[in-house]
């Protein structure tokens, strides 16, 4: 004999009210997991190019940039000077030339910092 209804019938044992709670719970769970495991990129800022390793923030003031430049040049100056005095001949002269260029850049950065300090009202 052929049955019209399936055996067992396709009925959900939970009430409709519980089913909506379960669906809401699943939606909230999915949102939470997506937030932590699959975050969306911030659309307000464009990120650096894929080949760009280091970036400088756009909102840093000139005085801070020049101060960091001066410190970076001073560090490079010390490293090249230390290396140059461990060498002989043309390699030493080459590194001392680089050291002089670094020192010149440091002098220029320090002068720019002095100019900024004299221009600012106290």
Rounded to whole angstroms, how far apart are CA atoms 105 and 49?
A: 28
Position 22 scores a pLDDT of: 79
What are the pLDDT digits (tens) for 75-122? 999 999 899 988 999 999 999 999 999 999 999 988 888 888 888 765
Model pTM score: 0.53
Segment 8-35 shows an average pLDDT of 71
Estimate to the nearest angstrom the gap between the alpha carbon of 96 and the chain centroid. Answer: 35
**Tokens 């490293």 — which residue?**
79
Domain ranges of the chain: 62-117
Specify the higher pLDDT residue, 36 or 29.
Answer: 29
Rounded to whole angstroms, how far apart are CA atoms 58 and 44?
A: 14
């Amino acid at each position: 004999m052929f049955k019209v209804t399936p055996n067992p019938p396709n009925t959900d044992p939970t009430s409709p009210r519980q089913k909506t709670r379960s669906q809401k719970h699943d939606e909230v769970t999915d949102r939470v997991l997506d937030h932590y495991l699959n975050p969306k990129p911030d659309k307000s800022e464009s990120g650096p190019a894929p080949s760009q390793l280091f970036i400088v923030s756009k909102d840093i003031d000139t005085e801070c940039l020049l101060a960091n430049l001066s410190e970076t040049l001073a560090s490079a100056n010390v490293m090249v000077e230390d290396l140059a005095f461990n060498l002989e001949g043309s390699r030493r002269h080459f590194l001392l030339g680089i050291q002089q260029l670094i020192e010149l850049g440091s002098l220029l950065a320090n002068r720019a910092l002095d100019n900024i300090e004299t221009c600012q009202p106290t």
